[in-house]
A and B are shown apart, each in its own frame.
Chain A
Amino acid sequence: MPPQQPHHFADVADVTARLSAAGYLPDPQIATTVFLADRLGKPLLVEGPAGTGKTELAKALATATSSELIRLQCYEGLDEARALYEWNYKKQLLRIQASQSSADGADWGDLHDDVFGEEFLLSRPLLTAIRRTDPTVLLIDETDKADVEVEGLLLEVLSDFQVTIPEIGTIVATRRPMVVLTSNATRELSEALKRRCLYLALDYPSAEREREIVLSRVPELAPALAEQLVRTVRALRAMELKKSPSISETLDWAQTLLALGLDTLGNDEVRETLGVVLKHASDQTRAAAELRLN
């Protein structure tokens, strides 16, 4: 076990206050789970539809704890060399060739140690996060996009916070980073990975919270208009659309209304600006029909 390290947050109210100060309004569920992740020292797995503020949470967490955010973006085909570490083979080649040309009697043993030293190691996000001595938030984004093998790799890193490099030895985290994994739930993550994490299911916020988010991010917007906007977005989300409007799209819509100088949200305004929140032609047709815009 690594040495005990100080907790970032004193209690749940502290989480709420500091995340709010960082520009992210957490609901009680988010605040409690973040608090526990800090207290129990476990990674936090955040799952939910696109645009519910998963990545935003990690960023706000980094700001709130004055940590640096290190981000590992997952994609199909992500491998160890991109996630963990890689030897800088070009530099190694140069080094070997340089030693061959300079002196014939170069000792292979020395050269070997030299070539597999710190200097030739390219640190990728996971290793970087483990080696840092300052507070760190490690964001592993869209974990579900990565292949199943990457999960195996994450298991080792997330359970022990250590990495074994055969040529150098085992590197143990001196200071455990706070880990946030996000997933859009396009595939089920393995049981083993989920077991090591705290689970937070993020859904679209309640009407009240979303209105607060809109007002805090777009303070120039009139409260009555924000209320109207949020209720319209909720009506859209209740339909069976291909892509429901996300929080960031609600904010975009608020910005749009502001930029156009509109002070109510009536049939005409919605029809003209619907493209800000709905990005499929079929969704737009459907919404227009169900909202009786014509």
Chain B
Amino acid sequence: MVDGGLPAHLDGFVRAVREAGIPVGISAAVDAASVLTAVDLLDREQLRHGLAAVLLQRAAQRQTYDVLFDLWWPLTDRPADPAEVDEGAPAADDGIPDADRQAALAAELRAELLRRLLDGDEEALRRFARMAVDQLGQGQPSPSGQSFFSYRVLRALSPDTLVSQLLDGLLGGADRGGLAEQVARQTVRERLAAFRAAVEAEVRRRSAAERGRDRVARTAVKPLADQVDFLRAQSADLAELRRSVAPLARRLAARLSAKRRLGREGRLDFRKTVRASLATGGVPVVTHHKPRAVHKPELVVLCDISGSVAGFSHFTLMLTQALREHFSGVRAFAFVDSTDEVTRFFAPGADVADAVQRIGREAEVVTFDGHSDYGNAFGVFAEKWATAVGPKTSLLVLGDGRTNYRQPGLPVLADLVRRSRSAYWLNPEPARLWGSGDSAADKYGQVIPMIEVRNAAQLAEFVTTL
């Protein structure tokens, strides 16, 4: 970084925020500069929240922002500029304490951690985390400088094994079991997570001071929740995604019904007609009509639930469940190599995770070997539920279009598309892979609009362009 004082430092920070995938416009960058003049620069939290107010546009970006902020505006007990601590290596001779002392130290700190966790003061916990990293987190010193590792701290302190003691402490001798224990468990979970986050933040800060913050920033920043690939999503990501489902369903429902509204005229709008008649001297030359009452369209969801698209189908089934609250006639069908109606598993108020499990057990979606067979699945659907798709129906097909080299069943799908009011295929695979290997996505794409939906952001975009 060129030494250009505060403006240059801010510029570097803004650029890092941009590189992390948060779009920051020029006007936002200018505003950030004016924030510096308005807030009390000695108060780090003011600066953090002040810059967040102009740089961020969505709540999901906050986590990434906080990581970067801690790197660029570190708590100072040493210079932020890595160049000045380059000569840290020679100090290694007093280095790592021997094993016994290390163990004694860990035990001592563990006792203190327990006290702090019971106490629940977040600021004190953060201070303790910094100290613990300093004492326990050092790795082998290398010529490139001292490195710190959060796993060393967490292994030495093993905070997870404190849960039982913490519960005893929080319950204060009351009985285990029942409400009190569950509530206490939640509190313990929160405090342990806060401690772990504090340790990681401190390790990042120290690594940044040693190795330069640009390198740390690149590895420390996790992708935003809505950028996570469906096909690679972990269970923690899925939990995050679930939160975004309900608003998406509402949006999708509003869009699909808004389309119907256009161009149809209903009863005379007297008020509007008279207003318009003013232009023609009180003579109502043009009549205006109220839009017709919004008709709830029907939606048929046809969802591939084979193992290859598990993450995606789990998500789309949740979307289906959420959609049921907005559409009068949502019918859900699941298929692997055969198709079955699964609407009954999505009774209003039913638990989605539970429904997904029951579908796996009870629905007749597998007749042969449990590998996707789109041709047979479409065939069964068209044959058994011929009336499901009509001129009022919107058809949504969800799947990766990998047919295991079997019949794709194109004519059947084309016929379904023709009979429906509108039809879309959402594909969780990147568009460049369509048609590669056993994928028939390119062929399907000729009879039905196929849309790449790899993550929640793309799904949201699809919904808005409908």
Contact = CB atoms under 8 A, between A and B. Distances in A.
Interface string B317-356: 0000000000000000000000000000000011100000
Contact of B179 (A188, A201, A208, A232): A232
Nearest to B278: A89
Nearest to B174: A266
B371 interface: no
Interface stretch (A27-35, A61-69, A127-135): A27-35
A286 B354 CA distance: 12
Interface string A10-43: 0110000000000000001100110111011010
Interface in A36-54: 36-37, 39-40, 42, 47-48
Contacts of A262: none
Given A195-B28, A199-B53, A281-B349, A185 B59 contact: yes
B40 interface: yes
Nearest to B47: A32
Contacts of B43: 12
B45, B50, B53, B190: most-surrounded residue (chain A CB, <10 A): B53
B251 A187 contact: yes
B190 A234 contact: yes
B447 to A, nearest CB: 31
Contact of B53 (A198, A242, A293): A198
A292 B282 contact: no
A39 B38 contact: yes
A291 B183 CA distance: 7
B182 interface: yes
Contact of A231 (B50, B187, B242): B187
A124 to B, nearest CB: 15
Contact of A89 (B35, B39, B274): B274
Contacts of B464: 187-188
Contact of B282 (A96, A234, A240): A96
Contacts of B189: 238
Interface residues of A, number: 56
B53 A200 contact: yes
A92 interface: yes
B53 A266 contact: no
A199 B49 contact: no
B54 A198 contact: yes
B214 interface: no
B110 interface: no
B181 to A, nearest CB: 7
A186 interface: yes
Given A186-B247, A199-B56, A291-B182, A12 B34 contact: no
A32 B187 contact: no
A28 B53 contact: no
B351 A33 contact: no
A194 interface: yes
Nearest to B55: A199
Interface string B82-123: 000000000000000000000000000000000000000010
Contacts of B396: none
A32 B178 contact: no
Interface in B449-466: 460, 464
A36 B50 CA distance: 7
Given A40-B38, A93-B278, A234-B186, A29 B49 contact: yes
Contact of A293 (B50, B57, B179, B460): B179
A54 to B, nearest CB: 12
B460 A292 contact: no
A259 to B, nearest CB: 21
A282 interface: yes
A47 B247 CA distance: 13
Contacts of A186: 247, 250-251
B278 A92 contact: yes
Nearest to B460: A188
B351 A232 contact: no
B26 to A, nearest CB: 10
A258 interface: no
A28 B120 CA distance: 19
B25 interface: yes
Interface string A272-294: 00000000111000100011110
A28 B349 contact: no
A156 interface: no
B59 A187 contact: no
B53 A290 contact: no
Contacts of A93: 274, 278, 282
Contacts of A37: 53
A191 interface: yes
Nearest to A186: B247
A182 to B, nearest CB: 13
Interface string B261-291: 0000000000000110010001000000000
B446 interface: no
Nearest to A30: B49
A235 interface: yes
B180 interface: yes
B242 A36 contact: no
| 10 tightest A-B CB contacts, nearest first | A282-B349, A201-B59, A235-B186, A32-B49, A29-B49, A198-B53, A39-B38, A33-B53, A186-B247, A235-B183
10 contacts: A28-B45, A32-B45, A32-B46, A33-B50, A36-B38, A40-B34, A93-B282, A235-B185, A267-B178, A292-B181
Given A28-B46, A33-B49, 20 more contacts: A11-B40, A28-B45, A32-B39, A32-B45, A36-B39, A36-B50, A40-B34, A42-B31, A93-B274, A185-B58, A188-B460, A228-B183, A232-B183, A234-B187, A235-B183, A235-B186, A282-B349, A286-B351, A291-B183, A292-B182
